[in-house]
Amino acid sequence: MPSTSRYHWGTDIDLKNLNNSYFERGLGAKEYQWLNKNAKNYGFHQVYTSKENGRTGYNMEKWHWSFMPLANQYLKFYNSNITYDDITGFTGSELADDLNIIKDFVNGVF
């Protein structure tokens, strides 16, 4: 949804394959293991993880990684400056508040 995507901040990337199953075996599993062990050393974090601990929003995305030194700053700015009044001008924007897009999706990370 426009005005709610971390990609628009320029801090988030998708890696290699958009299927969680790719990262569960073979080369994909080795890559994912390396990312979990080392990505934080470079400032990256997998933001859409399991929802078992109450995380909201998007389902797990093993391919989606965020550069946290900037993403944390942008999220703070977003939460201080963007409201549902700013999410307008496109089909479906009227649903943003009802769907709790800001609370559950923009802030539904970690």
Tell me: pLDDT of 81 over 90.
yes
Which own/partner contact pairs does 51-54 have at CB distance under 8 Å and 24+ positions apart?
none
Interval 13-18 mean pLDDT: 95
At 3, the amino acid letter reads: S
Task: Name the residue with higher pLDDT: 70 or 110.
Answer: 70
Tell me: pLDDT of 110 over 80.
no
Q: What percent of the chain has pLDDT over 90?
A: 92
Interval 81-92 mean pLDDT: 95
Residues ≥6 apart with Cβ < 8 Å to 31 = 15, 16, 23
Ramachandran category for residue 99: left, alpha or beta (phi over 0 → left; psi -120 to 50 → alpha): alpha
3-state class (DSSP) for residue 14: strand
pLDDT of residue 62: 97
| CA 87/CA 104 separation, integer angstroms | 15
3-state class (DSSP) for residue 71: helix
Summarised one tens digit per residue, pLDDT across range 25-73 is 999 999 999 999 999 999 999 999 999 999 999 999 999 999 999 999 9
